[in-house]
A and B are shown apart, each in its own frame.
Chain A
Amino acid sequence: DTEVTQTPKHLVMGMTNKKSLKCEQHMGHRAMYWYKQKAKKPPELMFVYSYEKLSINESVPSRFSPECPNSSLLNLHLHALQPEDSALYLCASSQDLHTTRANTGELFFGEGSRLTVL
């Protein structure tokens, strides 16, 4: 199983709503990532979890709150978002963050959750 699954595929929310994006992988990967991608731009890294601990936060506003309940799951909690937060949110996983001979950093992406904030 080489899949990263994300739900929901599409989400429309108002600026006062609270919602969550979910991501799941069963490849035994120990690093999981959230990326944000605007139209015609490359993915921008938001958060990295390594062994269920937050390893990297790329100065993301606190209205985005990540959570890693276990090694297979990664959530992104959304609250009080702005219309400019509308984007494709991509989850990804990789074998490990740490530099080992076997780990060359390949990321496996989910299909993404397309978020529209009204």
Chain B
Amino acid sequence: EDKVVQSPLSLVVHEGDTVTLNCSYEVTNFRSLLWYKQEKKAPTFLFMLTSSGIEKKSGRLSSILDKKELFSILNITATQTGDSAIYLCAVSGSARQLTFGSGTQLTVLP
């Protein structure tokens, strides 16, 4: 059975801080790892990672995958209150659908 574990479960920081969110996985026939941000409604897509060691960046967010150690990290620099959300990690494998982790609840205080 595919498994995705995220840590920490929740995190409270102040504006301007840098945060690192972790995602480790066990999956049969890994295809991709995806990061989503969820505020009050549907998850919105952030990154899709398929290859080890290649950093994906979008503004203050970046992510990298390590297929040998079976984990990914999501970094957010210079956090803002608008970054407060649940960050979901999901993995696609031979199970034919995404397996989601439990998410990291990030709260950024002004």
Residues of A within 8 A of B44 (CB): 109
A-B contacts counted at CB < 8 A amount to: 59
Closest chain-A Cβ to B54's Cβ sits at a distance in Å of 14
Closest chain-A Cβ to B93's Cβ sits at a distance in Å of 8
Residues of A within 8 A of B34 (CB): 105-107
Q: Does B56 sit at the interface, judged by CB under 8 A?
A: no
Binds B, one of A14-22, A37-45, A68-76: A37-45
By size class, the interface of chain B is: 20 to 34
Q: Does B79 sit at the interface, judged by CB under 8 A?
A: no
Residues of B within 8 A of A40 (CB): 86, 103, 105
CB-contacts of A62-118 with B (<8 A): 88, 90, 97-99, 104-112
| Given A106-B45, A110-B42, A111-B42, residue A42 in contact with residue B100 (CB < 8 A) | yes
Whether the pair A104, B42 counts as a contact (CB closer than 8 A) is no
Whether the pair A90, B42 counts as a contact (CB closer than 8 A) is yes
Q: Which DSSP category, helix, strand, loop or mixed, fits chain A's interface?
A: loop
Whether the pair B97, A106 counts as a contact (CB closer than 8 A) is no
Whether the pair B31, A106 counts as a contact (CB closer than 8 A) is no
Which one of A42, A45, A99, A112 lies within 8 Å of B103 (CB-CB)? A42
Interface string of A52-64 (1 = CB under 8 A from B): 0001100000000
Residues of A within 8 A of B92 (CB): 104-106
